[in-house]
Homo-oligomer: A and B are copies of this chain.
């Protein structure tokens, strides 16, 4: 028999439609919890499932959507879940054939924002039950918050081996790129959109997801009010043509809608799933493309790093998060497009401090973060609480480090900064650094980490100690970029360590790095010469027609 993961790669699959309308038609009181029917009228639920299967659905969602929202009460929600899965399994088994297997997706809706530490165990309990009862898929349905969705995915990954499908509730304000980056990073099996006032509301979003994702796309729109099933079917066909691979209905849809849809889409070939090579880091609100395209080189704020900063050291010791938040905001106002967060210093619990710092910063700044530590346990803690797809800064080519960090990236998602140094130290030559970087990309692939999720830092050593530190860095950057076709990152300020006139050196090195094609630079965006170097570079590159942006910034 086929598996659902195999089918997803080669076929269009149909989901079912809404449960509540049919249950009400069968006699359910308008304000009842539909999930309660699993206990009080299981035959109604069974019959609705049978109708959808007859209409052509490949996948049934269990009648459990609302449980997550009210299970804090004393209702026997575990029992409702078990019954819901069993009812769907009986219906699916009845209709399943070798040719057209039918699947049961354990349906979980959102519960509203909860602290990560409470959300994960709660989801964990439910998905464990679902796997015990024989569900085929974990279906995170119509979530509103990425952060809760992340908690649910982590719970599913940590407690089951079932495929994970996720849909976001359609919302015009929400950037689907953040959703895609985070969920693909977390390795879900399919992702998509739910809701809208009609299927056309999600059409542009489905298109955008299809252009960004290398996994199947789900579309479960609401039906348009006062419109026939046939119209819904035509809209669904359009969504499938736009790139959706799994189609079904949400609010207002009935077996008639699914039947029409299945007929209309029967002859379609599924859209080809591209392997997108775009590198993206994200927060809950901003998906930042790295390398390629028109984004230009990105500025990463370096200031949240206690090395040599007394005031920040004190703030970290005192858990004075408002100071850290102000530093984060100030860097954003100076033009930083991402922020590096490093709390490594003696005398603190680095893992705990890092988690608190990340949470505090994400409260006030929407910029994607670089989680910066040499310690894998600190990286793990930060990745767990981070809301988005982070940049993990960094992993080096030592086997022990790769063995510790790559599994974290595979689990939590993220773009990883690779430092091409290994057991032999930092290679002196660009060719040596290229060789280590290539080895690291190969090793990462063994963990399912694609090359697009690797940024190489060719490493700049201070010219005060290594005269060719800057030259070697730039030569390595050019060689690695050209040969491996990966984005690159450089810590600009390292170059001037131990010298006076650092801003001047940093500005010149930044200009040189920009010219060499660096994709991200870690620096102090509040340092005028450094910021000026970037403004000038963009103007000189003709990216600022007639210098208007430059004039706006520099006119007296």
Which of B467, B541, B553 lies in contact with A546, CB distance below 8 A?
Answer: B467
A50 to B487, CA, bound (A): 83
A540 is an interface residue with CB less than 8 A from chain B? yes
- Asked if B509 and A553 sit within 8 Å, CB to CB, the answer is no
**Interfacial chain B residues near A499, Cβ < 8 Å:** 539, 547, 550-551, 554
A533 to B546, CA, bound (A): 24
Task: List the one stretch of A246-254, A409-417, A500-508 in contact with chain B.
Answer: A500-508
- Give the number of residues in A that approach B within 8 Å (Cβ atoms): 42
- Which of A468, A507, A541, A547 has the most CB atoms of chain B within a 10 A radius of its CB? A547
**Interfacial chain B residues near A149, Cβ < 8 Å:** none
A278 is an interface residue with CB less than 8 A from chain B? no
Which of B469, B504, B545 lies in contact with A554, CB distance below 8 A?
Answer: B504
**Interfacial chain B residues near A515, Cβ < 8 Å:** 511-512, 515-516
- Given A463-B542, A471-B541, A554-B501, verify A507-B495 contact (CB < 8 Å): no
- Given A463-B539, A468-B542, A471-B540, verify A507-B507 contact (CB < 8 Å): yes
A516 to B512, CA, bound (A): 10
Q: In this complex, what residue of B is CB-closest to A468?
A: B542
A540 to B505, CA, bound (A): 8
- Asked if B505 and A550 sit within 8 Å, CB to CB, the answer is yes
- Asked if B556 and A500 sit within 8 Å, CB to CB, the answer is yes
A516 to B515, CA, bound (A): 9
Which of B509, B546, B547, B554 lies in contact with A540, CB distance below 8 A?
Answer: B509
Binary B-proximity of A480-516 (CB < 8 A = 1, otherwise 0): 0000000000000001001111001101110110011
List residues of chain A with CB under 8 Å of any chain B CB: 463-465, 467-471, 495, 498-501, 504-505, 507-509, 511-512, 515-516, 529, 532-533, 535-537, 539-542, 544-547, 550-551, 553-556
The 3 A-B pairs with the shortest beta carbon distances in the complex, nearest first, are A501-B554, A508-B536, A467-B542
